[in-house]
Structure 1
Amino acid sequence: MKALNQLTNTDKGKLLHELFPDEIPALLDNIQDVCAHFKSNRETYAKTWDFGLMSFDMWLQLAEQAEAIINKHRSNMVRSSKVFSEQLFHSFDYTVLFVNDRIIKYAEGKSENSKFKLAVILLFTA
């Protein structure tokens, strides 16, 4: 196994799935729910958006890309850590920025699994 500082986003996603496969369906549901909420409240978010790295429209585009990937590959993502990681954490795709953010926020606010929360901190915030 690679050292933590040598793990790619794809490696981190695969490891998270392998350690916590029961958490993946709820995580994917949460990402889809957030994407739907963004789309249905686009104007409100656009007016109050203050993330300096990109506009809300750019963030929404990443959310829509993540949602499309999940819609297309959801059942395989739930079953396979390889599909989960390769589809959502591709190193050359900016969608990973949105997915990483959603994983962190899911762990902070939705997950009740304390070990999952610690793993997310270790893998995605360090």
Structure 2
Amino acid sequence: MKSFKEMNNIDKAQLIHALFPDDINHMLTFFEDSASMILNSPSLMPEEWNRKIDLAVWQKEAETVQQKINEYRGKMVQDGSYFAATLFKGYLDFFPLQCLRDYTLLTPNQKLADAIELLFEP
């Protein structure tokens, strides 16, 4: 296992999946709901989201995430490597990262929320 300093977002997402496999399906639903909000009601986008990123870029990333979840949900739920590589690879991972941070506010699993905050602190 890599040290914390050596871990990238894919490694961290894979670890979240390994530690909390039963929460992944619900998390993906939250990602989909967040994507729908950005695409269908952009005025509801939370103020604390980084406004330095243009809304069109947020929407493009939301659409990509939504499409990937629709196509590969089953595989992402079952395979942590696939989950991590599909959603957290590349320079446009800001949307799933923001979703993860927001997910900490509503998940009933406090250990999951604590792990996300530890691994993905801004």
Query: 3-state DSSP class of the match of 1:54?
Result: coil
Give structure 1 regions of 4+ aligned residues with deviation exceeding 2 angstroms. 48-53
* AA in 2 matched with 1:22: D
* AA in 2 matched with 1:51: N
The aligned counterpart of 1:8 is 8
The normalised TM-score by structure 1 is 0.88
The aligned counterpart of 2:91 is 93
Q: Conserved in 2, the CA contact under 8 Å of 1:14 and 1:82? A: yes
* RMSD after superposition: 1.9
The aligned counterpart of 1:51 is 50
Q: CA deviation at 1:53?
A: 2.2
Question: Going by fraction, where is helix more abundant, 1 or 2?
Answer: 1
The aligned counterpart of 1:64 is 63
Q: CA deviation at 1:49?
A: 9.1
The aligned counterpart of 1:106 is 103
Take 2:9 and 2:50, find their aligned partners in 1: how far apart are those partners? 22
Q: Conserved in 1, the CA contact under 8 Å of 2:37 and 2:44? A: no
Take 2:34 and 2:91, find their aligned partners in 1: how far apart are those partners? 20
The aligned counterpart of 1:79 is 78
Take 1:28 and 1:59, find their aligned partners in 2: how far apart are those partners? 17
The aligned counterpart of 1:123 is 119
Instruction: Mark the CA change 1:22 to 1:50 in structure 2 (over 3 Å): closer, same or farther.
Output: closer
Identity %: 27
**Structure 1: tracts of 5 or more residues without a match:** none
**Structure 2: tracts of 5 or more residues without a match:** none
